[in-house]
Structure 1
Amino acid sequence: MARSLLTALAIKHAKKDKLSDGEGLYLHRAKSGTWYWTFIYTRHGRRREMSLGPYGAGTGQVSIAAARRKADEVREIIGAGGNPFTEMAERKARVPLVTFGTVADEYIDAMKSQWRGRATEAGWRRVATVYAKGLRRIPVAEVTTEDVVRVLKPIWTSMPETAQKTRERVKLILDHAKARGIRTGPNPAEWKGHLDQILPRRDPLQKRNHAAMPYPDLPAFMAALRKANGTAARCLEFTILTAARSGEARGAVWSELDLAAKVWTIPAGRMKAGKEHRVPLSARAVELLEVQKARALSDLVFPGQSAKRQMSDPALAKVLTANGGTGFTVHGMRSAFRDWVSEETDFQREVAEAALAHAVGDQVERAYRRGDALAKRRLLMDAWASFCAGSN
């Protein structure tokens, strides 16, 4: 079939409203008098008409020569079995880049109905916003092995369980993106035959529990810790005094704290169980916070290397080791707290579990216990602070 049938002069003097340039390329005249290029073809028995832009030589218009180049590209894509509506270069360039963060959030929203409890969703959101934060702004189609390794390395040995969950969840998010057609190629978070050649394997005999310092050793450790300088030391002390998880303390912001009422309210989005948690603050915890407040440069109570950057978990682990906590973990301090309550106090188990933000009892029991026993927990946390200070 002949091609290149049209000329500028022929178009100018055309009587008809539809002109053919050959092999599927047409020029249509709208009622307004403007000419538009279209490419018409049949695929799987269905007629398809694709716009290639308005005819002309100005900005945003398509000349005869440009229309023919576009038509050639369409023919090449069709000949290869592709879809010109999505595969033409100019159309790819116009498609907004979807970031990893956007896809991660959409994946969580799509899948959360099949997960058991809010803790699972909260864990996924923590991975998407905290541990894989370095991937959030990267277009999901462009996430590379180097990107994945960069977010995993800082926690690979210091937080092995968290690192493993992060890798697995990043992999599922990237699989999801590929299934949606917004990513192609192998998955850079794949372990077997890929990341296992870059990151060290975990010791299969490695204990899954968090090594806890024996609680009788806590007063001496806390005395040394109070003498240590730096924000990481204060963050670790606060974490222990509140029996909080490391991430909860490291991510604390001033708007969560009411120093007058001596209460720290952690929002549901930052809690493992996805439920708001109120922490009664001891006198020492408040004193520590007041010192931090006096020199605050951002919303973060315990900033990291920069005022607006959250402190890392390895920073707390380093302080723990430097002050006599070799072989123990920051998270293990929660176990030390629980052991102390059981062995040395008369506080009820439910009060201790509530202090740790653990669910207590079956659904019926929890339904009857609608309060969070803040007053009882305040007595407990004051006693814990006294013990940590060396008082009986």
Structure 2
Amino acid sequence: MGRSLHKLTAIQAAKLNKPGRHSDGGGLYLSIDESGRRRWVFMYTRAGRRVELGLGGRRDLSLADARTEAANFRAMLAAGADPKVERARDDKVQTFGACADAYVEAMQPSWRNAKHAAQWKMTLTKYAAPIRERPVNDITTQDILDVLQPLWTRTPETAERLRGRIENVLDAAKAKGLRTGENPARWRGHLNQLLPKRQRLKRGHHAALPYDLMPEFMANLRTRSAVAARALEFLILTGARSGEVLGATWDEFDLQKEIWTVPAARMKAGREHRVPLSSRAMKIIAERLEAGSVGHVFTGATSASPLSSMAMAMLLRRMKTDITVHGFRSTFRDWASETTGFSHEVCEMALAHTIANKAEAAYRRGDLFDKRRKLMEAWAGYCSAGAKQKVVALLRA
């Protein structure tokens, strides 16, 4: 058999495109199907039956690595063993699904919260379903494309997150010795040559209300009695994100000190955030307290469930405006920058933004809480002004 080995060169393997099996000798073939999908297979006969074992995609498994795999299988045959049986028995042969589940289990302690882990598990279960039962060492570039292409233009953000998560799972599998060759889910220098680059949304894409219209908007909002209206007003007054408000529970509030402390697990930056509550924000909390002091502050259909994530957006739609919930953070920031004397750092900390300058962040130990309380009272005063009255807050930090 020695003289019949290594029939192909690396260049030939790269250029071959005719459908069929192209022999490299010794049972190793480059298999090309009608769609152009190319993969290495090992063929042998056992008990009079022809057996085919997949080794991996040509793009992901080099000719040299494929030959090494084939040599291992020939050694098994020479010893009287069946490569298919041995590979199935080998605990290193795992499915992608098993590897994905193991990865989520291993990494979960390092993630911010259970919701983050649930998102990983959902994407790697629902969207990666076509490859979950495939041996992890058989996953090819075409397999990845088959999973990503239906989502790539329809829901690009989901598709990109899925790609990154699959890449991590396959990297972990390789680190465990469960697969060889290049990672078929890698973007740079690989999938970026096969899939169109996703168009990034530009900063400021959340439609925001001009701050000079805020008093009139707030007067309109306060005529509405729905829980969503109070949640939205509270969000505006605190400069918080919708997820932080909707997930707020009573144990996060110190009503005596008029402070709302959002735990690190619920913050985007992964750090605890103390929010000073203005007089109007405290009045909203007092009203909600009358409805119950257990569980979520802004409840949904039942007291045991939080308000729907779409409730505030639907309220804005009923108010016949195209502004977004997140856009109110921009409204607050524009107002603070253009009409007050509060420092950049105070305004940024009010929005729980991280300090970009690492040296400055290292030396700043406090959260400028007292100054932020003055800022939020000034903002509440502005929001509560008459529709035609313009308020200029000249307070200085």
1:213 and 2:218 correspond = no
Partners of 2:261 and 2:243 in 1: CA distance? 14
User: CA, structure 1 residues 221+173, in 2 after alignment: closer, same or farther (shift >3 Å)?
Assistant: farther
State the alpha-carbon separation in 2 of the partners of residues 211 and 304 from structure 1: 26
The residue type equivalent to 1:349 in the other structure is H
What residue number does 1:335 align with?
Answer: 330
The answer for the alignment partner of 1:106 in structure 2 is 106
- Shift of the alpha carbon at 1:79? 5.3
1:351 correspondence with 2:356: no
Counterpart residue number, 1:296: 292
Question: How do residues 165-244 of structure 1 correspond to structure 2 at under 5 angstroms?
Answer: 166-172=161-167, 174-175=169-170, 204=199, 207-209=202-204, 210-244=206-240
- CA 1:164–1:333: 2 relative to 1, 3 Å: farther
Q: In the alignment, what sits opposite 2:274?
A: 278
The aligned counterpart of 2:370 is 375
- Whole-angstrom distance in 1 between the partners of 2:200 and 2:125: 35
For 2:217, give the aligned amino acid. Answer: F
Distance 1:175 1:371 in 2: 42
Q: In 2, distance between residues paired with 1:341 and 1:248?
A: 21
| Structure 1 residue 313 corresponds to structure 2 residue 309 | yes
Q: CA deviation at 1:100?
A: 6.3
Secondary structure at the counterpart of residue 269 of structure 2: coil
Other-structure match for 1:364: 359
Cα distance in 2, alignment partners of residues 207 and 298 from structure 1:
40
Distance 1:387 1:258, change over 3 A: same
In structure 1, what is the equivalent of residue 249 of structure 2? 253
SS of residue in 2 equivalent to 1:313:
coil
CA contact (8 A) 2:92 2:178 kept: no
- Native 8 Å contact 1:250 1:310 kept in 2: yes
Distance 2:119 2:339 in 1: 44
In the superposition, relative to structure 1, how do residues 131 and 296 fare at CA in structure 2: closer, same or farther (>3 Å)?
A: farther
Q: What is residue 115 of structure 2 aligned with on the other side?
A: 130
Q: Structure 1 residues 319 and 385 mapped into 2: Cα distance closer, same or farther (>3 Å)?
A: same
Q: 1:371 to 1:204 in 2, by over 3 A?
A: closer
User: For the residues of structure 2 that align with 1:322 and 1:315, how far apart are their CA atoms?
Assistant: 11
Partner of 1:14: none
Secondary structure of the structure 1 residue equivalent to 2:353: coil
> Counterpart amino acid of 1:269?
A
Shift of 1:316: 2.2
Q: State the Cα distance separating 1:265 from its structure 2 match.
A: 0.9
Could you give the per-residue CA deviations for residues 193-229 of structure 1, whole angstroms, max 9, x where no partner exists?
A: xxx9xxxx99948645322211111122222222223
Query: Residue in 1 aligned with 2:87?
Result: 82
Equivalent-residue separation in structure 2 for 1:387 and 1:311 (angstroms): 27
Cα distance, 1:286 vs. partner?
Answer: 1.4
Is contact 2:112-2:270 (8 Å) kept? Answer: no
| Structure 1 residue 380, shift from structure 2 partner | 0.6
- Residue 307 (structure 2) pairs with residue 322 (structure 1): no
1:243 Cα deviation after fit: 0.3
State how far apart, in whole Å, the 2-side matches of 1:295 and 1:177 are: 49
> 1:172 and 1:212, CA in 2 relative to 1: closer, same or farther beyond 3 A?
farther
Of the two, which has the highest radius of gyration?
1
Q: What is the CA deviation profile of residues 342-389 of structure 1, one whole-angstrom value per residue up to 9, with x for unaligned ones?
A: 111121222111111123363333344321111111011011111111
Give 1:381's aligned amino acid.
M
User: Given that residues 303 and 311 in structure 1 are in contact (C-alpha distance below 8 angstroms), is that contact kept between their aligned partners in structure 2?
Assistant: yes
TM-score for the superposition, normalised by structure 1 = 0.57
SS of equivalent residue, structure 2 residue 366: coil
The runs of 5 or more residues in structure 1 that have no matched partner are 1-43, 45-74, 113-123
State, as a whole percentage, how many aligned pairs show the same letter. Answer: 38
> Matched residue pairs, number?
281
RMSD: 4.6
- Name the counterpart of 1:388: 383
Q: Structure 1 stretch 278-287 or stretch 354-363: which is displaced more?
A: 354-363
Q: Partners of 2:207 and 2:98 in 1: how far apart?
A: 41
Offset at residue 278 of structure 1 (A): 0.6
Give the residue type in structure 2 aligned to 1:133: A
The residue type equivalent to 1:82 in the other structure is R
Q: Secondary structure at the match of 1:265?
A: strand
Q: CA deviation at 1:337?
A: 0.5
Give the SS at the match of 1:279.
strand
The answer for unaligned runs of 5 or more in structure 2 is 1-71, 73-79, 133-146, 392-397
